[in-house]
Amino acid sequence: MIWLHRLAIADGIALLLLVFVAVPLKYSFDFPYLVKILGPTHGVLFLSMSYLIVLNIINKNLPVKLGLGLFIGALIPLGAFIADRFLKKHIQSA
């Protein structure tokens, strides 16, 4: 579960950097290099986190509702940090 928490934070940071730094630099200053780095990085983190969510739901370590919240939160900038707060509460109560 600690890896899921770490991936959620890393994915949230990568998404924020991609959306609020790399994409504006690409379109405002014709500087696409950060998008070429952060895009795949976010993709790998997102897929890894999705895999861990499914794995933890199957192993009954994570409620389905919380897993869906984490997944949806990973799609929205700042959503990963909000969903991660619920994950922290779940980890502490377990």
User: pLDDT tens across 22-50, in order?
Assistant: 999 999 999 999 999 999 999 999 999 99
Domain boundaries, the chain: 2-93
pLDDT at 94 over 80: no
Instruction: Name the pTM for this structure.
Output: 0.89
Q: Where are the alpha helices (DSSP H) in the chain?
A: 2-17, 23-29, 33-58, 64-75, 79-93
Residue-wise pLDDT tens digits, 50-92: 999 999 999 999 999 999 999 999 999 889 899 989 999 998 8
Q: What is the pLDDT of residue 56?
A: 95
Residues contacting 4, CB < 8 A, separation 6+: 49, 52, 53, 56, 62, 70, 87
Q: What average pLDDT does range 11-16 have in this prediction?
A: 94
